[in-house]
Amino acid sequence: MSGGILVIVESVAEGISRASLEAIAYAQGLGGPVKVILPGAANQTQADALAALAVDEVLLADYSYPEGAGAGGYDGDGYVAVLAEAVRRLAPDQVFLAHSYGARDFAPRLAARLDLTLVSDCIGQEGEGDAVAFLRQMFLGRAQAKVKVAGEGPRLVSLQAGVARLEDLRRGSTPAPVSRTSLAMPAAPRVAAQAPLREGERSVDLSQARIIVAVGRGIKTQENIALAKKLADLLGAELAASRAVCDEGWLPIERQVGSSGQTVAPALYIALGISGAVQHLVGMKTSETIVAINKDASAPIFKVADYGIVGDLFQVVPALIAALEAA
């Protein structure tokens, strides 16, 4: 078989990564046959989760090293080997995957191995067939580009988290066929991996957050940040801030959004008491949905907001917390 779409998915402890499922939803949305491949060891839960989706085939592509070395953990060399084999064999038109930290490790190497081009961190596409253009953010989200791809062979495309909605992921009426393969790696592993660990002090990567609750000067005091934190915890959101708040030392600088902080584009950005200086807006205005709560109706933040509430955040936020707890 050739043509169609191949989606590379990654496993997480509980199953399949959310971003990978979004990539499948994205591929389903394009139409045409979709196969998915999970490199590395797969358990039954993961296999079942994939088979339940409306896809044409599920490939579980494991690899093994001589004498059982390196079994279990992520191994870039193993991933590249099994994926290169599968892409060669299946000859899909397009290969999609999530632009995850893992993909940043193996996807460019896969492209290099196969002499393909990889369009990374895409947020969508326009046009069809040879005229297709992929949309990418550039300059830390300050510009967007339409990228065209020339040449033969499958197009390799990694997708930014949030390009498709998980709600759009279609399930199949019958389980998809599942095949298991295992590739014998010719030599000993080149990289030895230890078990993942989580640091006591959790590091902040705002760019990965799905929801961000951000506070500005309107929060007034450090003590009031607890209120925003409560809302963030309730929503499973990261807490972020404008420069004024970080300058005061109320929140650490790694939570600062804007031209001198991080650039973010979460699915939902809730701005509390942020007036919206351009230096802040450049860091968040490409967020999918923006909610602004501010006392000043003329604050520029409302120009980029999808939902605006002119009011006292010290009244609105407690009401919001109550409404969420009741919902």
Partner 1 sequence: MERERLDAEAVIVGGGPAGLACALRLARLVAEHNAQGKTPGIDPEGIFVLEKAAELGMHSLSGAVMDPRALAELEPDYIAEGAPLESPVTEDHLYYLGATSSHRLPFMPAALRNEGNHIISLGRLVQWLGGRAEAAGVNVFPGTAAVDLLVEDGRVCGVITDDKGLDKTGEPQANFEPGYELRAKVTVCAEGARGSLSGQLIKHFHLDSDSNPQAYALGLKEVWEIPAGRVKAGTVWHSFGHPLSGTLQGGGWMYALSETRLSLGLVVGLHYADPAFQPHTALQRYKRHPLLAGLLEGGSLLRYGAKTLAKGGYWALPRLSAPGALLVGDAAGFLDAMRLKGVHMAIKSGMLAAEAAYAALCAADEAGTDQALAGYRQSFEASWMKTDLWRGRNYHQAFQHGTARGLAASLVQGFRGRQGNRPAHAYLRPGTAAPAAFGPDGKLTQDRLTSVYHSGTGHREDQPVHLKVVNADQCQQCHGEFGSPCQHFCPAGVYEWEAADGGPGRLRINAANCLHCKTCDIMDPYQNIAWTPPEGGGGPQYEGM
Partner 2 sequence: MKIAVCIKQVPSTSAPLQLDAGTRWLKEGETTFETNAADNHALEAALAIRDQLGGEVVVLTLGPERATEALREALAKGADRAIHLVSDQAPGLDPATVASLLASALAGEPWDLILCGLQSDDLGHGQTGAFLAEKLSLPQASIAAALEVTAEGQARVKRELEGGWYQWLELATPCLVTIQSGINKPRYAGMKGMLAAKKKPIVKQPVTEYPAGLTRQSIDELYYPHKAKQTRMLEGSPEAVATQLVAALNLRARP
Say if CB 250 and CB 225 are below 8 A apart: yes
By a kind-dependent CB cut-off of 5 to 8 A, residue 149 interacts, out of partner 1, partner 2, none, with partner 2
Q: Minimum Å distance from CB 88 to partner 2?
A: 16
In sequence order, what are the residues at sequence separation of 6 or more whose Cβ sits closer than 8 angstroms to the Cβ of residue 79? 39, 40, 63, 102, 106, 110
Q: Minimum Å distance from CB 320 to partner 2?
A: 4
The piece of 68-76, 111-119, 179-187, 276-284 that touches partner 1 (CB under 8 A) is 276-284
| Binders in 117-136 for partner 2, by CB under 8 A | 117-121, 133, 136
Say if CB 324 and CB 237 are below 8 A apart: no
- In the shown chain, the binding pattern of residues 215 to 254 toward partner 2, with x for contact by CB under 8 A and - for none, equals ------------------xxxx-----------------x
The piece of 30-38, 169-177, 275-283, 318-326 that touches partner 1 (CB under 8 A) is 275-283
Q: Phi/psi of residue 159, each to 5°?
A: -115, 135
With CB under 8 A as the contact rule, the residue among 52, 227, 253, 310 that binds partner 1 is: 253
CB-facing half-sphere around the CA of 164: CA atoms within 13 A: 25
| Binders in 48-77 for partner 2, by CB under 8 A | 73-74, 76-77
Q: Minimum Å distance from CB 192 to partner 1?
A: 29
Residues 289-303 as b/e (b if ≥16 CB within 10 A, e otherwise) read ebbbbbeeeebbbbe
Say if CB 147 and CB 2 are below 8 A apart: no
37 binds partner 2 (CB under 8 A): no
Beta partners for 136?
122, 145
Q: Minimum Å distance from CB 279 to partner 1?
A: 6
174 binds partner 2 (CB under 8 A): no
- Integer CA distances (angstroms), 84 to 40, 91, 98, 112, in order: 13, 10, 17, 10
Contacting positions for partner 1 (CB under 8 A): 243-244, 246-247, 249, 253, 256, 259-260, 277-279, 282, 300
